[in-house]
Structure 1
Amino acid sequence: MTVRNTTAGTLPKSSYALSYRWYSADGRDRTTGSNRLETVLPADLAPGASVLVEAKVKAPSESLLGQDRERYVLAWDLRDRDRRRWLSETAGVAPLRQDVTVEHPTSDQLGLESFYQYAGTAIGAGAGLSVNAFSGNAVLDYSPIANPSRGPVTFVRLAYNSQDGSTSSLGPGWSLATSTLTRLGSPLEFQGGLLGDPERVTLVDGDGTGHHFDLNRHAASTGRSGPTTARPACTCCCSGPGMTTTRAAGRSPARTGPGCTSTSAATRPRRSTATATS
């Protein structure tokens, strides 16, 4: 992240640090001592000067409404550590606000997957309502258009997840897929690897399920050494060379390609801590 001093005075690195505050979609401040980090400035900032800062972010660990995917606003600001005041408060410099989606480790329990059990019923007009027997997430699924053919299948699919508070092209909780693997309005997310391959790729599929693919640089499962190239998966439970498929507890074993390993959610800490580079 590039930080530029737009004030009339020098900002000493001994006093100022780059930090942030978390706000929920309704404007409530969700910043706590456990989810706010500070990154010290690498140099003093004279008026008009700028510096590149590699900042770290820790996502909120608590869920507001028991949801697996939530909307937040991340407000970047400089903090005076001596006076414990924000630069936006003392100099009137507006913070940089970014819309962010926070996914909890259970975001892969959204949507409809063959490795979970559901209690469902038809609700008319070809739509169905299914409840995940493990997480309690309710999914409304409706496909108004489905045109099978010898070539690519044309379809339009709508899905609503009760535990999804994020916003896509249709609004909070809704997912729209039009002959695509990913849902519209939710591009692939790349984390880490600012100057190289991304450490993790996150994909949200057409019915709202989150899938995480971690880069396996050493290809430990095949004994090969050296970096490998991350490739997008062709299906929700397959990964390409050099990737790790993250799956929830209770799933059937994932199919992995050469150089891939699988990690069960049961072995991962249940928290939403994330480190990002801006």
Structure 2
Amino acid sequence: ARQAKDAPPPPTVGVVLKGCDTRSVVALIQERQVPRDKLVLVGVACPGMVDRRKAERALGEHVALGAGEDAQGNVHAVVEDGTEVALPREQILASACLECRSPTPSIHDALLGEPVEAKDPQAARRQTAEFGAKALAARWAHLRQTLSKCIRCNACRQACPMCYCKECLLDQTRPRWLGAGTDISDVTIYHLVRACHMAGRCTECGACVRACPMGIDTRLLVRKLNQEVEDLYGYRPGEAIDATPPLSAFAMDDPQDFLTEP
């Protein structure tokens, strides 16, 4: 998506995609960042990706994954002393995979494997509902505690498939919208601005979480905004290539409750 606008026409390429990858590619096609006719999409029905950090927390030490899986669905990992340990796969799957609503690519030119059912498609809504039920002070305290670990390395932005601006608003110096340090005010503004820019665009791939060196999961903010867009406009990012993103269209009967109600 960051390809220069004046570059020569791209060649036709084949891309192997999981469900979340497909959603990101569809969203980029909708935003005219990649041409559909230059892509051959090979979809892979995805049972979920293992999260190495979860495995390390479960075992209390560094592990090397990739030792295979057994017939019982256990993932084999090698710990520091060379011992091979088996862990239940569901226990160490990435959170984004456990909550994924469409693990089988919805759009593809060829599909590898049998379609996979979503594990818990309502998990994200339950989490945002639980968070929303808390008092305002408790929600704010949770966000500040979460964001206090942020070192402003921008890894979440760099890993995000939907962040492709040539110059990010948050990097501008004329005018300068926020400082480059880790003051909690600047950190909070950074994440709030990112969340607003991802509303109705986040494909919930979890790349931001995987990239964060501090283990911060800020998806709660974006997830709530995505749910608002879905409830108001019936739009889910990256699910249908012929769908119109709500921020790129206007209709006289668009919901306008937010203009008059707090």
Q: Same fold (TM over 0.5)?
A: no
TM-score band (shorter)? under 0.3
Q: Which has the higher helix share?
A: 2
TM-score (norm. length: structure 2): 0.25
Larger RCO (CA within 8 A; separation ≥ 6): 2
Q: Which has the higher strand share?
A: 1
Larger radius of gyration: 1
